Amino acid sequence: MDHSDEDQRLPHHQEPKRYVSLDKLAELGVLHYVLDADNYRQDPELARIRQERGYTYDDICDVSPDTLPNYEQKLKDFFEEHIHTDEEIRFVLEGSGYFDVRDFDDQWIRIWTKKGDMIVLPAGIYHRFTLDTSNYIKAMRLFVGEPVWTPYNRPQDENPARTGYLDTFKGNDHLNHNILAH
């Protein structure tokens, strides 16, 4: 990502453009799947992922100026750099938006998610979210057990979720990337 202060909903490509592979995201602990957003309740692939990863709770979040109370403030809150103590799992059913994650050099990587994309951010990774210029996303939020939405704004370098994340993923070049083939 570039370092521009322009509208956060823009792509913010570096010039020249630099793209990041799914393997690079996996090295950061970020997983990506492409699923059937039109038939998600009957999608066997989603059912398999939920079973394997223990996702037992879900809800639907509709984010747009017309559907989200206190929309402007919520977007500012989503865009504040933070971590969670649990994975953040989002499956885009409609619309699109950006998840920004920090790499191990403390640079932002912008991930554009659209209908059918499911992204899994590991506990402890610094990240933020914003809509793109469509100003709309409808996403399923998935959780292991009861939902926990608590963001811990940066700095959180001593937080056990952050130290655990770094212990697990920093310098970890031997990850199994088979899950990205889905």
Where is the binding site for Fe(2+), in residues?
82, 84, 88, 127
Residue positions forming the annotated binding site for Ni(2+): 82, 84, 88, 127
Any bridge partners for residue 114, and if so which?
96
User: Among positive and negative, which fits the CA dihedral 60, 36, 86, 112?
Assistant: negative
> First and final CA of the chain: distance in angstroms?
26
Show binding-site residues. Answer: 82, 84, 88, 127
Matching residue, tokens 């659209």: 114
Q: Are 2 and 18 in contact (CB under 8 A)?
A: no
